Amino acid sequence: MDFKRWIVKVALTGLAVLGAAYLLPGVDIDDYRVAWVAALLLSVLNAFVRPLLIILTLPITIFTLGLFLLAINGFMFMLAADWIDGFHIRSMGWAMLMSVLVSVFTFILEQINNPSDRHDREE
């Protein structure tokens, strides 16, 4: 992935984080800058920490038929919230729900941003 696409993906994720935080009462974000810092940190965490956690928790992930990945995603959000001032998540449950909403919102925003990619993949 080139740098320009990565920046666009982080910006779209920042919008998704803002939208999910607006909808969820258990998540607080001070302003849009905090959302983009959170998106940037989540990008780095997902690139380096998440694969390690997936490997370390592979037995429980297999046992739960992949549902434990939801807990790993929630943990990534909790970790980002602990490291960023102005980003607060009240519980692991809210973090897991936040991860699901951000994933859905990011998918929708990416489809709106690049509808031609969808057609290229279908052929």
Please give the Cα distance from 21 to 16 (Å, whole number).
8
Phi, psi dihedral angles at 87 (to 5 degrees): -125, 115
Helix axis angle, 92-113 to 3-23, nearest 10°: 130
CA distance 74 to 80: 10
Can you give the pLDDT at residue 68?
Answer: 97
pLDDT grade for 118, boundaries at 50, 70 and 90: low
Residue with the larger pLDDT of the pair 115 and 88? 88
Cβ atoms 32, 87 nearer than 8 A = no
β-strands 87-89, 27-29: how paired? Answer: antiparallel
